[in-house]
Amino acid sequence: MKKRILDVLTLLGKESDRQRSSKSRVLLDREMLAITPDTGIFFSILLKAIRASRVLEIGTSSGYSTLWFADALLSTAGNRRRPSIVTIESNPSKVSWAEENFKKAGVRNITTIMEGKAVDILRELRRTANRFDFVFIDADKENILKYFDLTLPMVRTGGIITADNMLLPVHFRPHMNKYASHVRRKASVQSVTVPIGMGEEISLKLG
Ligand SMILES: C[S@@+](CC[C@H](N)C(=O)[O-])C[C@H]1O[C@@H](n2cnc3c(N)ncnc32)[C@H](O)[C@@H]1O
């Protein structure tokens, strides 16, 4: 792993542990809600396995998961395309926080943060014919079916759409169960829930 990325991931990982174990409420603008480190490794393996170079993330927060993606893209040998990550965040304070973290990690040149409501930004991205190898859905759960339907046409065959919080926290279950049924009804997708971290839905786009 690249040292500058590792240093920032280590600091953010400590803050994430602190927030998870803290009994006092964390300020909304500083709430990380990050993936777990084993989820980061799992995504890194997936990205390298499919030789991903273009990633779309819905829900940036501090940029912790984005940094895992950046490291995987930069260390995928033989990548012919320039790595690029588009990540969407509606909270302006978190946009600034993530920007700082990307600068410190030296990945500002391959990351684009799009500030705004994810549904609006995804509609805009669709109009400009963007294509992605890997999508990570990790924002509000109310719009999660829309996020899947809007991103599926932008994913290449053999690309992957992932969604966090399939198993935890338990209060997300009604939304996540609907999401699992929704993606499994699509003939063009093969999908499974992997019990890692908070539970990840992995949906492969078939030819
Ligand atoms: C679970 S956190 C993302 C964590 C991040 N992926 C990580 O693992 O480090 C979800 C983020 O989505 C943002 N968000 C929630 N609803 C959104 C929406 N409708 N559009 C864009 N961002 C949204 C929140 O502000 C929050 O920062």
**DSSP class of 99:** H
Pick the residue whose CA is nearest to atom 25 on ligand 1. 91
Distance 62 CA to ligand 1 centre (A): 9
Distance 94 CA to ligand 1 centre (A): 9
Distance CA 7, CA 49 (A): 25
Pick the residue whose CA is nearest to atom 1 on ligand 1. 33
For a pocket test of ligand 1, which of 15, 20, 33 has the largest count of ligand atoms closer than 8 A to its C-beta? 33
Counting atoms of ligand 1 from 1, which one is nearest the CA of 164? 1
pLDDT at site 40: 98
pLDDT at site 108: 98
pLDDT beyond 70 at 183: yes
pLDDT at site 80: 72
pLDDT at site 45: 98
Q: Which of 142, 168, 147 is nearest to 57 (CA)?
A: 147
Task: Domains for the chain: give ranges and CATH numbers.
Answer: 3-205 (3.40.50.150)
